[in-house]
Amino acid sequence: MKRASFDSVRDHFFAVARQQWRAWRGYVIFFAFVWVPLRSSVVDYSPVPTGSMNPTILEGDVVWVNKLAYGLRVPLTQIHLATWSEPRRGDIIVVLLPEDQTRLVKRVVGVPGDTIELRDNHLILNSAPVDYGPPTQDYGATIARRFRPHAAFAEEQLAGVSHPVMGLTVVSAPHRNAGPVTVPLDRYFLMGDSRDNSHDSRVYGFAHREAVLGKAEGVLASLDINDTYLPRWSRFFSALR
C-alpha cells in the first residue's frame, strides 16, 4: 500500500511538472536564449542609486547602456569577439569597480596616454587647463534638497563635450587636487560629475579596458528617491551628455 501511494504521488508530481513546463517553456527559452544574451552583449539598463554623477544623472535614474558601443562580447563573459571603437573623453560609461566588481557609472576624462591633473576641482588635460563656463540651466532645482544650498555648478568643456559638473562647498573634499598622472595603455581615468561626492579614479586608480561594459546613452526612467518617490516624467527617455 505504501509503495502504491508513493508511486501515485511521484506520478502526480511529474505530471504537474510536465504541465508547468509546457505552460512556461516559451518564457524559459526566451529568458535563457534571448533576454540574458541581449542584456549581456547588446543593450542593458542600470539603476543609479547614488549622486556621484549629479547633476547629469540623478539618484533614482535608470540609464540605458549600449553594450555594442565599443565592441561585441561573448554573452555572460568578458571575452571580446570584436572591437570597433574605444571609449572617448567625455563618454559616460558603465564599468566594473576594480575593488569588488560593483557596477559604476562614470565619465571618461582621460584615455591612454593622457596626463591628468586636478587643481581645486579644475581639470588640467595634457598640461592645458580645461575651459569652464557658467551653468546653462538651473541644475540646483533637480538635485537633492540637502545639497542645494551648498552646490556650485559649471559647464566643463571636455574634448568638445560640454557637460555640467558640480562642487559642494561644505564637504571635506580631499580629492580636489590630484595628479599629475599619465594614463597607461588599456586604462582609463574616470570621474563623477559631482566632483566632491564621487568614488572614482582619484580613489581606486585607473579602470581597465576589459572592465568597461558599455556606454550610458540616456535615461529610461527616473524616480525621485530623495524626496517624494514620484516619477520625474521630464527625465523619461532623455539623452545624456
Mind telling me the catalytic residues? Answer: 52, 106
**240 three-state secondary structure:** coil
Cell numbers found for residue 35: 533576454
Please tell me the distance from the alpha carbon of residue 114 to that of residue 116, in angstroms, as a whole number.
6
DSSP-assigned letter for residue 35: I
Which among 183, 217, 167 is positioned nearest to 66, based on CA atoms? 217
Specify burial of residue 113 (Cβ count, 10 A radius: 0-12, 13-18, 19+).
Answer: exposed
**52 three-state secondary structure:** coil
Omega before residue 49 within 30° of 0, cis: no
DSSP-assigned letter for residue 71: E
Q: Are 125 and 105 in contact (CB under 8 A)?
A: no
Which among 208, 181, 225 is positioned nearest to 54, based on CA atoms? 225
> Degrees (nearest 5) of the Cα angle 135, 197, 68?
80
Please tell me the distance from the alpha carbon of residue 45 to that of residue 174, in angstroms, as a whole number.
32
